[in-house]
Amino acid sequence: MPGESGVCGPNCDQVSFSGRGYTPVLESPSPLEAELSEQIPSVPPGEAGESTDPGCCGATGSGRVISLCCMLAGECGIIRQNLASGADAAYLRALGLRVNQRVRLCRAAGSWIVEVGCQGGPACRIGLARDMAEQVRVEVTVPKTEPASGSAAGN
């Protein structure tokens, strides 16, 4: 289980607010993150080097931008895009699933449970059906290193 030194686990960067979005305190942003942050809030899928195909589930490592349902349980990331339609997108944002928000995938077993607010502060958990999880695109910042216990692809 992740989370020995922080909400996201031993490798999770602790962040603080800096007015707009979050700035990692312990780590510098990855080159891809820096590139993406200039394009926020609208990074068209496929323009940041990531695959828009849900088949990207096979990709590993940090910096990849994938849909939430392709993340592995225990992985942390930053929401980069919300592809849901109007009312659904607004609802997700109101729940806290908005661009630049830190998330940690807690469970991926047919339905997805994601912890929102992974900055060493208060967090809440949101359960999403697959249809909705597919609409949220996340840049993985802390990839899963151990064998996955709840692979999204497998469900």
Q: Considering CB under 8 A, how many residues would be counted as binding another protein?
A: 48
Going 46 to 52 to 53 to 55, the CA torsion angle's sign is positive
Q: For the purposes of burial, counting CB atoms within 10 Å of the CB of 19, is it exposed (0-12), middle (13-18) or buried (19 or more)?
A: exposed
Structure tokens at 105: 């995938």
In angstroms, the CA 91 to CA 52 distance is: 23
The residue with tokens 């900055």 is 119
Chain CA centroid to CA 121, Å = 17
CB 152 within 8 A of CB 112: yes
Instruction: Decide if residue 154 touches another protein (CB under 8 A).
Output: no
When binding is defined by CB under 8 A, the residue of 46, 49, 127, 154 that contacts another protein is 127
Q: Which of the stretches 28-36, 47-55, 58-66, 127-135 binds another protein when contact is defined by CB under 8 A?
A: 127-135
**Cβ nearer to another protein, comparing 36 with 63:** 36
Q: Which of the stretches 28-36, 64-72, 92-100, 137-145 binds another protein when contact is defined by CB under 8 A?
A: 92-100
Phi, psi angle pair for 70, to nearest 5°: -95, -10
When binding is defined by CB under 8 A, the residue of 57, 65, 106, 142 that contacts another protein is 106
Instruction: Decide if residue 83 touches another protein (CB under 8 A).
Output: no
Q: Which of the stretches 49-57, 61-69, 115-123, 138-146 binds another protein when contact is defined by CB under 8 A?
A: 115-123
In angstroms, the CA 69 to CA 16 distance is: 26
When binding is defined by CB under 8 A, the residue of 46, 49, 55, 110 that contacts another protein is 110
Binding residues vs another protein (CB under 8 A): 1-4, 6-9, 14, 16-21, 41, 86-88, 90-96, 98, 106-107, 109-111, 113, 117, 119-132
